[in-house]
Amino acid sequence: MRVKFSQDVRDRFIDMVCQGATLGDAAVAVGGTAGSGKGWWPHTGMVRLRRGRHQGGGIDDPAPDDGMPGGRLLTLGDRMVIQLGRRQGMSYAAIGAEIGRDKSVVYREVARNSSPDGAYYARVAHTRTHQRRHRPKPFTLAENTRLCQVIEEWMDEGWSPKLISVMLPIVFGDDQTMRVSHETIYQALYVQTRGNLRADLHQRLSLKRRSRVSKSAPRVSNSPFKEAFKISQRPAEVADRAVPGHWEGDLIIGGGNHSAIGTLVERASRFTILLHLPGKYNADVVAQAMITAMRDLPAHLRRSVTWDRGSELARYEKIQLALDAQVFFCDPHSPWQRGTNENTNQLLRHWFAKGSDLTGYTATDLRRIQDTLNRRPRPTLDLHTPANRLAQFLHTAA
């Protein structure tokens, strides 16, 4: 019996083949004959098949759904949405909104993976992408003796791979065979059997290394915090909040990283100071704002400050000298080590929403918000306010 190759039949046939069925078995399963699959397949996607009975024993390498939702790679689920959207006549922008991608991503995916008759099949597209990703790429210098000779001549004259890659298009005009990136030259120099360059050619490089230094290799740090105090060096009194005067600080960043507000929180009382940073928040501006805000505090209430390793505190030595207070820095990527400040910043998001422009807040505005927060009862203080607790510390010292 001859089966009309409708869209529904075609979809079921393709899905079965992409999941490993032979052309013949898939054709029979959808109501055709064992031999009809051979005629159907060229119109659907032409991905690589295994050898076997009925002209193909299923997909040669069925593609796993190895993409993560929202990640760099499209998942099979994303492609199923694209397939459905195309069938329903949705625009590329509408489909992109459904899967959280730009419309250009959907357009390129459809253009790259549609079948010869212009239809888009999710499983075929997913498998084709998987097979292309695993296909070995030809190496530029492996067969191009002329290009290798030019590279050797120029390197013998002291040219760097970067300079060679720039000069090739200039010297050889429209000859596309005389093109190579500097990264490809480095690979040919340092990886055995890649290309036909002389084995000793690496000695022509300025550094004359026998192997290339990995980009991930540890390098000498130019960090301004090399001599700074680490959080592990803080005295025990800071951790148990037994002694007041130890502060934690950070920046609240506005939308587009164009504005910021500094925050300082005293660990024992949770008293908060907001730093007005109009226009910019570089190291000099932040240091001066912190010194201005804290210099009138009594000495016993400015014992130390703990901050992240952000460049905005690169002038920490200036702060230490002006306030006579040690500045400690958290370990890299460890904001939880400033837990008091992190929690306070979450409270401050009531006024400073994420992504908002902070440039419109004046120093008076910040003082009003600061006072409002400091008058708020805190469960961690047995419902006392930070302002009251700080006043107790001031009274005790007096």
Q: Does one domain contain both 268 and 355?
A: yes
pLDDT at 340: 94
pLDDT at 173: 84
Q: Does one domain contain both 302 and 340?
A: yes
In tens, the pLDDT along 334-382 reads 888 999 999 999 999 999 988 888 988 999 999 999 999 999 998 889 9
The residue among 291, 253, 252, 248 whose CA lies nearest residue 268 is 248
Main-chain dihedrals φ then ψ at residue 95, nearest 5 degrees: -65, -45
Q: Does one domain contain both 92 and 196?
A: no
Q: Does one domain contain both 169 and 238?
A: no
88 lies in some domain: yes
- Which pLDDT band, with edges at 50, 70 and 90, does 54 fall under? very low
pLDDT at 363: 94
Q: Does one domain contain both 129 and 172?
A: no
Element holding 250 (H helix, E strand) = strand 246-253
71 lies in some domain: no
- Which pLDDT band, with edges at 50, 70 and 90, does 56 fall under? very low
Give the 3-state secondary structure of residue 328: strand
Number of domains in the chain: 3
254 lies in some domain: yes
Burial 49-61 (b: 16+ CB within 10 A, else e): beeeebebbbbee
The answer to whether the CB of 197 falls within 8 A of the CB of 189 is: yes
State the pTM of this model: 0.47
Last residue of a domain, one of 84, 111, 133: 133
Q: Does one domain contain both 314 and 189?
A: no
151 lies in some domain: yes
Q: Does one domain contain both 243 and 350?
A: yes
pLDDT at 4: 54
Q: Which residue range is the domain that position 150 belongs to? A: 145-204
In tens, the pLDDT along 116-146 reads 667 888 878 887 787 776 555 556 676 778 8
Q: Does one domain contain both 87 and 179?
A: no
Q: Does one domain contain both 116 and 253?
A: no
214 lies in some domain: no
CATH number at residue 349: 3.30.420.10
Q: Does one domain contain both 326 and 256?
A: yes
61 lies in some domain: no
pLDDT at 3: 47
91 lies in some domain: yes
Query: Of residues 7 and 322, which shows the higher confidence score?
Result: 322
DSSP output for 283-311 = HHHHHHHHHHHHTTS-GGG-SEEEE-S-G
Give the 3-state secondary structure of residue 359: coil
Rounded to whole angstroms, what are the CA distances from 173 to 105, 142, 148, 353? 33, 22, 17, 55
275 lies in some domain: yes
What rounded mean pLDDT belongs to the chain? 81
Main-chain dihedrals φ then ψ at residue 113, nearest 5 degrees: -120, 15
> Given the structure tokens 């190895």, which residue do they identify?
66
Q: Does one domain contain both 160 and 260?
A: no
Q: Does one domain contain both 278 and 375?
A: yes
CB atoms within 10 A of CB 248: 26
Query: Of residues 114 and 287, which shows the higher confidence score?
Result: 287
